[in-house]
Structure 1
Amino acid sequence: MPSHAESSLEAGLVALKQGDYKNAIAQLEPIASNTDARKVAVLQAKVGLVMAYARSGDNSKAIALCQTLTEINNPQVKQWADRALKELTKPKKSDKESKKSESGFVPLKNSGDNYRPEPPAVNPLNSSVTQVVVKINNPSNESDNFLPPANRLAKNTQMYWRHAGRAKVWQPRHKSNLLPLRLLSAGTFVALFWVMRAILKLLMNWSNNILYNIRLQPLQLFYRDPTQFLLIVLGILIVASPWLLDWLLANFYGRRELPKESLNVHSREAVRLLQRYCQQRRWRSPKLSILPIAAPIALSYGHLPRTARIVVSLGLLEQLADDEIATIYACELAHITHGDCAVMSLVLLVTLPIYQVYQQVSQWTDNIPNKILHLPGVVISSLAYGIWCLLTGTALWLSKLRLYYSDRLAAEITGNPNALVRAFLKISIGIATDIEKQEHTSWQIESLNILAPVSYQQSVCLGSIAGQIPFESFLMWDSLNPYRRWFTINNSHPIIGDRIQRLCEIARHWHLDLELYLTNQQPLKIKRHSFILQIAPFLGIPFGLMFAGLLCLIWQITFAFKLLNLKWIYDDWSFVTGCVLIGISIGTVMRILYFFPDADMKPSILQSFLPDASTTVHAGDRLPNLLANPSALPIDSIRVRLVGKLLGRRGTSNSLEQDLILQTNTGLVKLHHISGLVQLVNPQDWIGRQITVTGWFRRGATPWIDIQSLQTQNGQTINSLHLLWSMVLAVATLAWGGYILLKG
């Protein structure tokens, strides 16, 4: 397709999205008149013209063009045209009915009535132009570049949405029990307080020790208990959190006000939802803001409904449809309703400045030409990142639980669980696309992740693999694996398949068609010994306690019969700690034997104890099949060799190697790498280059690969020392436990 035609098509689709129908028609008509009606560009132009004609009131032209599209030998085009033609030719409603249908809401008699709107069926003519995706079986790539960014994303992933309908009349299910959420919110505050108190006391002690060692007078204030002071500070931060977060987001993230008129352009339903819901509860409407971020994210903060704020990104408004945007706003309203916003706002307010320290110090360090001076910056930035992870970790359980409550309330507010399912999936696709475009995980996505509706870690694989395999196949692990929830303990969000399955249950309860047909069968039966090996290091703790109890009993008996006087050992109960450490060490070694089968660098002494593991090396094109296995566990250790582009942050900000991702021809997958103490070449040096990764694929809540080696096209190799450091840790733990046990 000529370049001038590409630019005309893109300009026409952009004009259509902005509501400039006259300009859109002028740009698209020449392309639609092309004699080769099978070209992707021609079909896209005709689809855009139908929408432009219909929205500008020229129904006769829209119907005539739509009829030609119904004769196209392409199932996706034909299905869209059939739906559009049905919408164009149906009888017009009265103005009152039209407004009711358009808004999707029915006025309430009073705030206590059950709300029963009659939303419209999905209207393809009212869809955003970025949602009209045509899947063409065309082996050439001539059409890959003519689409706007959002359309190019959908074209490349070859997505097709069912657009399952919404409820017209429904009754909410049984009332939610908010007690667990309330208790966990209080527990999160306590956990945050104690972690901050421990960090503060440690810093105070270090400061005084340093002053003492350099022969200066220690600060007497630092010897006092900081409990009362910290409680007062946290109380002030909770009260001031809405305004302080406004300032932080405005200065570091570009937050600006979002007028309802601007939101109305993207989602009229969201505006009506906010008005109706706040009027029902006699709330002041939350303050609306927008972040200039391409990735689709949303968050809410504030300690009371009248101080609440809802912030969305520009990417979310551009990549989601009208009803999907409304469901995300409904989720944020649910957080405000349930009151979990207050504690989560405090967590965000405490963690954002620390993350900014990590970010700024990393950038300053990278700008220093003398690499010898990089060490202090690396230490400070890594320490700040570790503290950020630690403080964020206090809210992990609350972050997971509150999403189950908000998903349910959002579905009940809108009557549209299917739109919420589509919203989650499109957010995942948008985040994965942003990572691919920027070639690393952006600062904004990671630092705001704790309040986001979908986790960026889960989106890496799910969003990038979309179109390669059906969503139902990928999410089978999330819904059928009986041990799936064990692998979300350190995750900030519940597994997305579990959330979608609950929304599907609500849709079934309301007798709706489903956007995704997740299987409703019983969980798979997986051999228990596989899971036991997976958690062997943790099982070492109870086994260590049992061993300590057995030793104590034996020593008591031998002492009673005057056979052996070991009472001096069990008089000192520190031997229990030694037994626990030995148990953890034994469990770690057992897991290592199964975690790293056929490792070339594995000590020969371990080879005779190795299980019979498959040595099959899977190529990158098999990645979708590996992800679709619902019975896989990380302990399965599937050997893979993948070729792709290495993505991640560069320089000091990735000193802990926390952001390494492989971009293959079928999707993204997270990489785990552990370097040695001295290493001439680091993986960060190869970011942006084509590499070959050899390692072990692990299927968990977030799929990843434990690297064995990285190799460039010119033969350079980096070996990961995951196995070596695991063995060092196991041996050190064993030695420490044995020392405590024998010391007595």
Structure 2
Amino acid sequence: MPSHPEPSLKAGLTALKQGDYQTAKAILEAIAGSESDRTAVIQAEIGLVVVYARIGEVAAAIALCETLVENERPQVKEWAERSLKQIRRRYQTEDTSTTDGTGFIPLENSAAAKFQVESQKSVSGEDENEQTPPSQTPARSLRVPTLRASQTRGWLASASSTPRTSVPKTSSLRVPPPPNSPTAVNQEKVKPPTIYWRQAKRAKVWQPLSKRGLKLLCLLEVGTCIALFWVIKTLLVLLMRFINDAFVKLPFLEPLQLLYRDPTPVLLVVIFFLFCLSPWLLDRLLRKFYGQRQLEKDILQRHSKETVRVLQRYCKQQGWRTPKLFLLPITAPVAFCYGNLPRTARIVVSQGLLEQLTDDEIATIYAIQLGHIAHWNCAIISLLLLLTIPIYQLYHFLGHWGDAKTQPLWRGIFAVLTSLVYGLWCLLTGTGLWLSQLRQYFCDRVAAEVTGNPNGLVRALLKIAIGIAGDVQKQEHTSWQLESLNIVIPVGYKQSLCLGSIAGYTTFESFLIWDCLNPYRWWFVINNTHPLIGDRLRRLCKIARLWHVEPELYLESQQPLTIKRQSFLLQIAPWLGIPLGIAFGGLIWLIWQTLFALKLLNLKWIYDNWNFIKGCMLIGFSIGILLRINSFFPNIKPATVQTDDQLLDLLINPAALPIDSTGVRLVGKLLGRRGTNNCLAQDLVLQSSTGLVKLHHISWLGQHVNPQELIGRQITVTGWLRRGATPWIDVQTLQTQSGKIVNSPHPIWCIVLAVAAEVWGAYILLRG
């Protein structure tokens, strides 16, 4: 069921006049790609020329101008020829000497940037020598090219006779796939795309930011502690009961009375001691398993002198001792902190972060860690890290031991054990998800306020995402260091996969517009370790505006989209069925009480307790799955299936929801961990010609062909692309070049789950 709103030409042109280029681009491209009203199509194409020119997509602007030059209407042709001439006159080949040490080219120093600034006046018909007032940003000084009604009435009325030519979109500017891919036959090898940065300035003078919301953060910190304790206690009680039940059933053994006692007092004491010793215990764990070593001050100063000044100044203001500094010898750019008090705090960064970020960007990342320490969430996350790292290491070692076994029976046993331990790690990590999300917003504000450089923090977060995606591509799997530390690093590795890998093929605003405009975006981060990165960057850009600084990205002026509510309700139908089941259970209980009071019906044997509510919840959940399944897994038809050429357009659609279930067939290389550590297929990534996309795969029971056997090979993935907080593909089939096929029966397993929930719920209702 499509969830896209009807595009409006007026809305698109209004957005263009207001400088809201990404919204204008999305709306006008939708209109230009339609076949309904030729008049609106030509107006949309004219607006798109201006949009492409102002956001730096020069090739798209030129291609569209060349299309409009062929129009038979003289006014359109004259405008297109004049604009094309001005664009080509100002377009110059980029100067490769502007590349900095990180491999990025600052936008303000590139020829494309010069063209972008100049075309803001020339394409809109303004005089070349006209000066923009300093207080007025270029984005706000632009005007949409318009023609008088007397000029346009004639050609617009008969425009439908003009042949329709497709509008060149961002996807037409993509770099071809690598030569070794099946889709790159007879194509020449091309250079990787260059990423341009505006290099927006920092504030020279700025006022303090609001401290609103700190009470909510404190409440969430307390709630995280309670949730963590409750989960540990529940698991411990279940384990104690299991052991005693086993002793009861086994001969010659008696249950241990100690295991019948309440473990709360002992558990509280143990957790308290772990909390007190967490800095030193984490020192040993990180040194033993991650190779952590001390970061000397002179080494840090060589990479970032500003960081040393920021640490000294902020710690002096707070009356702290400077935190200990450590370094991880990994190439992925990560940073985190731990410690139970400010005086015992440690800040850890990776070698990759020091090498891939610039001086001021490194300082902003260190300032984020100071914010974590100041808000005390560092202490709680440290305890969580202390509990989860040993469990993850156990999972890691069990996987290696399982790989060393040759007998299928032993490999199966280790696969089950590894999956159970991994599930335990996910469960404990899940208690800190919401705190991990919320704390990022507050610490971003601290970093901006301490450094006065929100634009530097924007670039730092984006470069971290690019670096993480590059690390996954280089290693051809997600490293265990990234996954185990994911909850504490500035940018999550899952949200980095797609964003970091397609950065060279489109503007950041185009991809991040979903995070800013989609009205249901908040529902899709409930189970994420990090907030929407687009929303984080939008808030930082808003701070830059507040301090009268031009932002690095133009995200803050976007207006939310309107999406049909029915699409979202269908998306959450299984979860919506749970409260509806509870309501239905309460209704039948009320009816039974009424009939029992009137002595018309006696069902006390069923409704003597409230267990029947559980049955109603399960039935509601089952009905929700069945209602959604046809829309969630529609038939993938060859005539409508989307390929690599359309992938980028699908990813940057701000109105998309996972329920849209776009059928895709993509070609690329399968990445992921090998062996028992990936027996649940939790680390499968497709490296296509556009970028990295997460894959969700479910195997048949007893399936002979395992997807791990295809890792590192060129494959064709057929499935349903879903755009949420993290884009992913629900796999239908994986096919190699030799014809070997691995099926992933998502719809069948959904039906099995629905039937199981239905049967279980009915059993509870009948049993009473």
How far does residue 665 in structure 1 lie from its aligned partner after superposition?
0.5
Q: Which residue of 2 aligns with 1:186?
A: 222
Deviations, residues 205-264 of structure 1 (Å, cap 9, x unaligned): 223333442533443332222111111111111111111111111110010000110001
How far does residue 660 in structure 1 lie from its aligned partner after superposition?
0.5
Residue pairs, 1:233-632, within 5 angstroms: 233-598=270-635, 616-632=640-656
Q: Which residue of 1 aligns with 2:693?
A: 669
How far, CA to CA, are the matches of 2:652 and 2:427 in structure 1? 33
Q: Which residue of 2 aligns with 1:170?
A: 206
Amino acid at match of 2:691: G
Contact 2:175 2:192 (8 Å CA) reproduced: no
Deviations, residues 309-362 of structure 1 (Å, cap 9, x unaligned): 000000000000110000000000000111111100000000000000000110
Contact 1:598 1:615 (8 Å CA) reproduced: no
How far, CA to CA, are the matches of 1:199 and 1:615 in structure 2? 51
How far, CA to CA, are the matches of 1:452 and 1:318 in structure 2? 17
Contact 1:363 1:653 (8 Å CA) reproduced: yes
Amino acid at match of 1:618: Q
How far, CA to CA, are the matches of 1:290 and 1:738 in structure 2? 56
How far, CA to CA, are the matches of 2:367 and 2:488 in structure 1? 15
Residue pairs, 1:111-260, within 5 angstroms: 156-212=192-248, 213=250, 215-260=252-297
Name the CA shift for 1:696/1:141 in 2 (closer, same or farther; >3 Å): closer
Q: Which residue of 2 aligns with 1:739?
A: 763
How far, CA to CA, are the matches of 1:579 and 1:724 in structure 2? 23
Could you tell which deviates more after superposition, 257-266 or 731-740? 731-740
1:719 aligns with 2:743: yes
Amino acid at match of 1:245: L
Name the CA shift for 1:220/1:583 in 2 (closer, same or farther; >3 Å): same
Name the CA shift for 1:218/1:139 in 2 (closer, same or farther; >3 Å): closer
Aligned-residue CA RMSD (Å): 2.6
Amino acid at match of 2:283: D
How far, CA to CA, are the matches of 1:625 and 1:232 in structure 2? 55
1:696 aligns with 2:708: no
How far, CA to CA, are the matches of 1:203 and 1:554 in structure 2? 40
Q: Which residue of 2 aligns with 1:127?
A: none
Amino acid at match of 2:415: V
How far, CA to CA, are the matches of 1:199 and 1:304 in structure 2? 29
2:735 alignment partner, SS class = strand
Amino acid at match of 1:713: Q
2:302 alignment partner, SS class = helix
How far does residue 502 in structure 1 lie from its aligned partner after superposition?
0.6
Unaligned runs of 5+ in 1: 1-37, 52-71, 81-136, 143-153, 601-613
Amino acid at match of 1:620: D
1:616 alignment partner, SS class = coil
How far does residue 370 in structure 1 lie from its aligned partner after superposition?
2.6
Name the CA shift for 1:184/1:262 in 2 (closer, same or farther; >3 Å): same
Q: Which residue of 1 aligns with 2:733?
A: 709
Contact 1:556 1:567 (8 Å CA) reproduced: no
Deviations, residues 236-294 of structure 1 (Å, cap 9, x unaligned): 11111111111111110010000110001111100111111111122110000000010
How far, CA to CA, are the matches of 2:240 and 2:441 in structure 1? 40
How far, CA to CA, are the matches of 1:560 and 1:663 in structure 2? 66
Name the CA shift for 1:582/1:388 in 2 (closer, same or farther; >3 Å): same
Name the CA shift for 1:541/1:372 in 2 (closer, same or farther; >3 Å): closer
Residue number among 657, 662, 666 corresponding to 1:633 in the alignment? 657
How far, CA to CA, are the matches of 1:691 and 1:344 in structure 2? 40
Deviations, residues 503-532 of structure 1 (Å, cap 9, x unaligned): 011011011101011152331110001010
1:240 alignment partner, SS class = helix
How far does residue 739 in structure 1 lie from its aligned partner after superposition?
1.9
Contact 1:530 1:635 (8 Å CA) reproduced: yes
Amino acid at match of 1:335: H
Amino acid at match of 1:516: L
2:634 alignment partner, SS class = coil
Name the CA shift for 1:556/1:219 in 2 (closer, same or farther; >3 Å): closer
2:434 alignment partner, SS class = helix
Q: Which residue of 1 aligns with 2:86?
A: none
Amino acid at match of 2:219: L
Name the CA shift for 1:430/1:209 in 2 (closer, same or farther; >3 Å): same
How far, CA to CA, are the matches of 1:304 and 1:324 in structure 2? 26
Length-normalised TM-score, structure 1: 0.78
How far, CA to CA, are the matches of 1:194 and 1:414 in structure 2? 39
Amino acid at match of 1:698: R
Identity %: 62
Deviations, residues 559-606 of structure 1 (Å, cap 9, x unaligned): 445444434433333222222211111111111121001169xxxxxx
Q: Which residue of 1 aligns with 2:678?
A: 654
How far, CA to CA, are the matches of 1:653 and 1:699 in structure 2? 27
1:684 aligns with 2:708: yes
Deviations, residues 450-488 of structure 1 (Å, cap 9, x unaligned): 100000010010000111111001001000001101000
2:670 alignment partner, SS class = strand
